[in-house]
Amino acid sequence: MKKDNDKPKGKNRKNNEILKTIVLFILLIACIVGAGTIYYLNNGKDKAEEKELAYTELITSINEGKIEKIEMTTGSNSVKVTLAGEGEEKEREKTLLVPSTQAFMELIQEKVDKDGIKLELNQKPVNPLLKVADSLFSLLPTILLVVLMLMIIKMQGLGGDSGKIYGGEDGRKPEVRFEDIAGLDEEKGELIEIVDFLKKPQAYLDMGAKIPRGILLYGKPGTGKTLIAKAIAGEAGVPFISMSGSEFIEMFAGLGASRVRKLFEKAKKISPCIIFIDEIDAIGSRRTSNSGSETENNQTLNQLLVEMDGFETNETIIVLAATNRPEMLDKALLRPGRFDRQITIPAPDLNGREAILKLHSQNKKFASDVDFKSIAGDTAGFTGAELANVLNESAIIATRNKHDAITNSDIENAVKKITVGLEKTNRVISDKDKRLTAYHEAGHAVVSKFLPTQTDVKEVSIIPRGLAGGYTMYKTNEDKFYVSKTELLEKMVALMGGRAAEKIALNEISTGASNDIEVATGIAKDMLTVYGMDDKLGPISLKVDDPYQLQIFGEKVIDEVGNQIQVLIDTAYRTAQEILSANMNILDAVAMTLLEKEKITSEEFEKFFE
Ligand code: ATP
């Protein structure tokens, strides 16, 4: 399988740009400091060597008739004063610094006239280099401010980065094809006509067909939305411009909208082509009437709507957008002529997972015991990206274990590493904690054995993995579309099995059950507020965007939800305790074996029930 080699190196490019700007900034500072140094060396150094004179001293000297000459130079704030007396003129010279020559002249004019002091105003030719350095130095704060602004704008991307093009200007098209996407056959079937249209638009136009403008791909991250968009472009042999919704989010008002405009201008130049906007919810979420960044977002979204409406019929541009939060999108985006086609990209089913595993196994070495079907069975709910990651991790594990090829156990380890975390065999655990963990995990396993809807135990371990002190893994041998109420209730009982075992066997409860409690409470809450599974409340949905909307249900309903959540959890906890009390001998035996062996396989576990 070709990996996504042509994925934009957007981040690197942005980093390079920032680096370039910083270098430019440093160079500019160096220039300014250089100019300042020249200025100081030519101007300041002389001054430092001369003897300075204070203004009050000058007035006293004038009054006492001790001044022979006052020399001023236009454009300079230093005044040369020659004291009266004998000896070399240079010896008698002093310097006085004044804020402005003009003002100083006016101030002392009267005194000078009276005392007959020689007053000279020179038009000293200024070294042009010095002049530039001087003005550059005085402009320093302004220049710094402008450069800083430019840097921020550049980081924000005003530089006009309006989408990464794959193909088009340089003729390169995405190399991804439909055959690089495993599973998703129906979705591919739906999109094949888009490919055909991009290949020969005229045939469709001649027939009077209206071409879809926008296609929205809904799905969890990693389900292959980007891959599909690229494959459409690859199959049709057209360029692909990709941009992420978050790249339109700008600090300065109007910039997001201008980037949308630029993106479409670029697309029109290289049409026929595909525009792919990932994470469209970043700009396409429902418009609000608020101010600030919201208004900026609204402007960006409005511009996107305008651009999509403004396509000419002969412009063969298809906009594909991806999101995993469809409920967030502004309704206007989904109107006819815009994203009027929506395709859900689901997480792969059993066959899909096997196909993805096989596809991603192509350039790896596997031992003969590897069974992709069974791995697919153990990875229900995994996305394509996660499955690709499993195989990559298993290759790393196999290399570390110095295996000749990737074995089935390397893959199983990779799955556990991804789901529960890395095994921490070296962590020192006290005997008390080990005992607590052993009973906790044995509790989960034993309780679930007595729950008909729960799947069989695959492995129980008290070796810490990730953040967990131990774990009970269950087999996943079925892809389910719907989950029944009984199943949810029993799942809560299995989750409570850990806490119940701690209480019954050790008369103690610990923090180890926190995650189980969180998950169980979540299930109870969803049963009542999302799935409408409560007998008293009935089939109502309390899913609201804003907590204020809950007010329409009245306090009685809200209180009932709170009460029923408690009832569900209490019942689950009690049921778990009852199951364990009736099977104490099995609970003890499983816990003892865990303390001894640290890990129990599914076969070993089943033996306790024979
Ligand atoms: P996101 O929402 O995070 O952008 P996505 O849905 O766009 O994710 P992709 O970037 O297309 O996901 O998929 C990530 C990677 O997962 C792909 O590059 C590919 O390696 C793998 N992958 C996902 N689905 C499939 C599939 N059906 N067949 C083969 N590989 C897949």
Distances (CA, A) of 460 to 49, 142, 490, 525: 87, 68, 19, 28
Do 598 and 463 touch, CB atoms closer than 8 A?
yes
**DSSP letters spanning 147-199:** HHHHHHHHHHTTTT---EEESSTT-------GGGS-S-HHHHHHHHHHHHHHH
Do 512 and 439 touch, CB atoms closer than 8 A?
no
pLDDT, position 465? 79
474 Cα–ligand 1 center, Å:
26
Amino acid code (one letter) for 257: A
Amino acid code (one letter) for 305: L
Region 390-411: mean pLDDT is 92
pLDDT, position 417? 85
Distances (CA, A) of 337 to 62, 267, 310: 89, 18, 10
What is the DSSP pairing of strand 599-601 with strand 457-461? antiparallel
- pTM over 0.75? The answer is no
pLDDT, position 15? 58
Burial of 115 (0-12, 13-18, 19+ CB in 10 A): middle
If you average pLDDT over every residue of the chain, what do you get? Answer: 81
CA-to-CA distance for 299 and 287, rounded, in angstroms?
9
What band does 526 get if pLDDT is binned at 50, 70 and 90?
A: very high
CA angle (105, 107, 109) in 5-degree steps: 60
What band does 8 get if pLDDT is binned at 50, 70 and 90?
A: very low
pLDDT, position 129? 67
Distances (CA, A) of 207 to 191, 475, 517: 19, 54, 61
Amino acid code (one letter) for 301: L
What is the CB-side half-sphere exposure of residue 455 using CA atoms within 13 A?
Answer: 14
Q: Is 498 in the pocket of ligand 1 (CB under 6 A)?
A: no
Written as six digits, the tokens of 39 are 């200025």
Residue entry with tokens 């009437």: 289
Residue entry with tokens 């094809």: 177
User: Has residue 438 got a pLDDT over 60?
Assistant: yes
CA-to-CA distance for 14 and 365, rounded, in angstroms?
37
What band does 287 get if pLDDT is binned at 50, 70 and 90?
A: low
SS3 427: coil
- Which residues are marked as active site? 441
Q: Is 384 in the pocket of ligand 1 (CB under 6 A)?
A: yes
Strand partners, 218: 323, 344
CA-to-CA distance for 311 and 305, rounded, in angstroms?
11
pLDDT, position 446? 97
Written as six digits, the tokens of 499 are 């806490």
240 Cα–ligand 1 center, Å:
17
pLDDT, position 83? 80
CA-to-CA distance for 383 and 220, rounded, in angstroms?
8
Q: 475 or 439, which is more confident?
A: 439
**DSSP letters spanning 308-360:** HHT--TT--EEEEEEES-GGGB-GGGGSTTSS-EEEE-PPP-HHHHHHHHHHH
- Cβ contacts of residue 83 below 8 Å, gap of 6+? 61, 66, 67, 68, 92, 93, 94
Region 372-397: mean pLDDT is 89
Q: Is 181 in the pocket of ligand 1 (CB under 6 A)?
A: yes
Written as six digits, the tokens of 472 are 């009970």
Q: 443 or 428, which is more confident?
A: 443
pLDDT, position 6? 40
Do 85 and 92 touch, CB atoms closer than 8 A?
yes
Mutate to test the pocket of ligand 1, among 2, 216, 226, 242 (most ligand atoms within 8 A of CB): 226
pLDDT, position 508? 92
**Across 47-61, 63-77, 218-232, 432-446, least confident range:** 47-61
What band does 543 get if pLDDT is binned at 50, 70 and 90?
A: confident
The number of the ligand 1 atom at minimal distance from the alpha carbon of 224 is 11
Q: Is 229 in the pocket of ligand 1 (CB under 6 A)?
A: no
222 Cα–ligand 1 center, Å:
4
Region 189-194: mean pLDDT is 86
Residue nearest atom 31 in ligand 1 by C-alpha distance: 384
Q: Is 4 in the pocket of ligand 1 (CB under 6 A)?
A: yes
Return the biggest CA–CA distance within the chain. Answer: 127
- The order of strands in the sheet holding 240-244 is 164-166, 240-244, 273-278, 317-323, 214-218, 341-344
Mutate to test the pocket of ligand 1, among 4, 227, 228, 232 (most ligand atoms within 8 A of CB): 227
146-173 pLDDT, tens digit each: 877 777 655 554 444 555 555 444 445 7
103-123 pLDDT, tens digit each: 777 777 766 666 667 777 666
What is the DSSP pairing of strand 471-474 with strand 341-344? unpaired
Going by the DSSP 8-state scheme, the letter that residue 207 receives in this structure is: T
Q: Is 244 in the pocket of ligand 1 (CB under 6 A)?
A: no
User: Has residue 415 got a pLDDT over 70?
Assistant: yes
359 Cα–ligand 1 center, Å:
13
311-361 pLDDT, tens digit each: 776 678 889 999 988 877 888 888 887 888 888 888 888 888 999 999 999
Written as six digits, the tokens of 72 are 């001023």
CA-to-CA distance for 241 and 221, rounded, in angstroms?
20
Written as six digits, the tokens of 379 are 């990875």
Buried-state track 408-443, b at ≥16 Cβ within 10 A, e below 16: bbbbbbbbbbbbbeebeeeeebeeebbbbbbbbbbb
User: Has residue 387 got a pLDDT over 70?
Assistant: yes
CA-to-CA distance for 396 and 378, rounded, in angstroms?
20
pLDDT, position 314? 66
Q: Is 183 in the pocket of ligand 1 (CB under 6 A)?
A: yes
Strand boundaries in 456-609, DSSP class E? 457-461, 471-474, 599-601
SS3 49: helix
pLDDT, position 47? 47
Written as six digits, the tokens of 331 are 């309704």
Residue nearest atom 25 in ligand 1 by C-alpha distance: 384
Residue nearest atom 2 in ligand 1 by C-alpha distance: 221
Greatest mean pLDDT range, 109-123, 286-300, 540-554: 540-554
Region 61-76: mean pLDDT is 76
- Cβ contacts of residue 103 below 8 Å, gap of 6+? none
Region 87-96: mean pLDDT is 78
Q: Is 174 in the pocket of ligand 1 (CB under 6 A)?
A: no
pLDDT, position 109? 73
Residue length of the chain: 610
CA-to-CA distance for 348 and 187, rounded, in angstroms?
12
